[in-house]
Amino acid sequence: MAQPSPRIIITTHHKPDADALGSSLGLYNFLKEMGIASTVVSPTDYGDFLNWMPGETTVINFEREEAKATQLVQEADFIFCLDFNALKRINKLGDIVREAKCKKVMIDHHLEPEGFANYALWTTQVSSTCELIYQFIDILGETDKITKDIASCLYAGIMTDTGGFRHSSTYPSTHQATAALIEKGAEPNKIVEAIYDNYSESRMRFIGYCLNDKMQILREYNTALICVTAEELKQFEIITGDSEGLVNYGLSIKGIKLSVIIIDRTVARKMSFRAKGNFPANEFARKYFNGGGHFSAAGGESQDTIEATELKFKQALADYKTLLA
Ligand code: 5GP
Ligand code: MN
């Protein structure tokens, strides 16, 4: 008698980026190739620049279909948790995953896993979760099953998480994996275009406004800071995905070692940190702003007003003056 198919859920962190959604849909498309059905559940919505990914129309947004998503997670036999390692990163869905009786598999590259999973493919010495999905398929001896769809999803996450193969997380294995994915049909120019040349006019005007009118250069700390109010988000009709990458601009300025953006998302002031050199962005985010992340790319949040958050940030910088000088 044929075994019933396992019910598989794939989930990833809130406001998924190209690595989060690319690894989820890369795995979804791979399982499909293996004859195994699965469902991707995203805790929230995500930017339009990811809509091209094969399988994207099947993704269930937990915020929009909470009852259905909850039932799927509760009835799952396996839950794959991709590109995050702490359940608070998937908001309300976190408790439902925690309480689910099934086996949980974490595939991730962030520091300090919380340890909720039964199985883990985890290392920080890798470019991205998409590269880990490639390794996962390789470990299974199934790279011949990689189709153009799978390759395209995985290429997208590797390319974006390494900042276009520029960050220190770009290893020989990264280029070996992307070379293999290109051989399988991923088209780098088309993927770059789909992700980076698909923004709204309002996003471009918003970036211009932020760089021209809002960016502060704190020379004493070699730091660039942009604070965005809730009114400004409304004025520029900023939607999910529109502020993606804005924090990186500050780091392009000669001598700048830390670039920070504080955005008033109404429920909280969300912060992004990007650093160069010895500044531990994740430690800083953890210590002052209830956050964390990678050594040079981290995030956090604050419940204070945007003005108070800005002030607290500037005061905290003083503790790191020698590292930033
Ligand atoms: P981003 O600035 O792109 O939102 O986040 C950069 C990195 O910081 C992400 O890879 C993520 O791991 C981490 N991160 C962002 N926000 C938070 C947060 O609130 N808490 C923790 N622990 N990590 C965060
Ligand atoms: Mn990632």
In DSSP notation, 204-226 reads: HHHHHHIIIII-EEEGGGTEEEE
Query: Alpha-carbon distance 154 to 220, whole Å?
Result: 41
Give the residue-averaged pLDDT of 185-206: 95
Which of 110, 265, 303 is the best mutation target for the ligand 1 pocket, counting ligand atoms within 8 Å of the beta carbon and taking the most? 110
Confidence of residue 240 (pLDDT cuts 50, 70, 90): confident
Beta bridge partners of 121: 107
Cβ(152)–Cβ(117) below 8 Å: no
247 CA: nearest ligand 1 atom: 2
Beta strands of the chain (E only): which ranges? 8-12, 38-42, 60-61, 78-82, 103-108, 119-122, 216-218, 223-228, 258-264, 269-275, 292-293, 297-302
- Reported as a pLDDT band with limits 50, 70 and 90, residue 5 is confident
What are 131-174's pLDDT values in tens digits?
999 999 999 999 999 999 999 999 999 999 999 999 999 999 99
Mean pLDDT, range 200-225, rounded to an integer: 97
Nearest atom within ligand 1 for CA of residue 301: 19
Neighbours of 249 (CB within 10 A): 18
User: In the chain, pLDDT over 90 holds for what percent of residues?
Assistant: 94
Spacing, Cα 70 to ligand 1 middle (Å): 25
Q: How far is the CA of 164 from the centre of ligand 2 (A)?
A: 13
Q: How far apart are CA 316 and CA 256, in angstroms?
A: 17
Q: Is 241 in the pocket of ligand 1 (CB under 6 A)?
A: no
Alpha helix segments (H runs only) across 171-304 = 172-183, 188-196, 201-209, 230-235, 281-289
Q: What is the mean pLDDT of residues 55-63?
A: 98
In this structure, the strands spanning 223-228 and 216-218 are: antiparallel
Mean predicted confidence (pLDDT) in 231-254: 95
Distance CA 93, CA 74 (A): 11
**5 exposure class (CB count in 10 Å sphere: 0-12, 13-18, 19+):** exposed
Is residue 261 lining ligand 1, measured as CB closer than 6 Å?
A: no
Taking Cα atoms as reference points, which of 251, 266, 165 lies closest to residue 211? 251
Instruction: Report the SS3 class of residue 232.
Output: helix
Going by CA atoms, what residue is nearest to atom 16 of ligand 1?
299
Ligand 1 atom with the smallest distance to the CA of 298 is 8
Residue with CA nearest ligand 1 atom 12 = 293
- Enumerate the β-bridge partners of residue 12: 82
Residue whose pair of structure tokens reads 């036999």 in the numeric block: 77
d(CA 198, CA 122): 32
Angle between helices 172-183 and 129-139 (to 10 degrees): 70
> Tens digits of per-residue pLDDT, 250-285?
999 999 999 999 999 999 999 999 999 999 999 999
Residue 133 CA to residue 12 CA, distance in Å, equals 13
Residue 255 CA from chain centroid, whole number? 27
Query: Would you state the pLDDT for residue 271?
Result: 98
pLDDT of 4 higher than 80? no
**Residue 2: predicted pLDDT:** 66
* Cβ–ligand 1 contact at 110 (below 6 Å): yes
Q: Whose CA is nearest to atom 10 of ligand 1?
A: 293
Ligand 1 and 299: CB distance under 6 A: yes
State the chain's mean pLDDT as an integer: 96
- Does residue 40 line the site of ligand 1, with CB under 6 A? no
The lowest-confidence range among 4-8, 63-67, 285-289 is 4-8
What is the maximum span of the chain, computed from C-alpha positions, in angstroms? 72
Of 120, 47, 54, 108, the C-alpha closest to 82 is 108
Q: Does residue 293 have its Cβ closer than 6 Å to ligand 1?
A: yes
Selection from 32, 8, 28 nearest residue 102 by Cα: 8
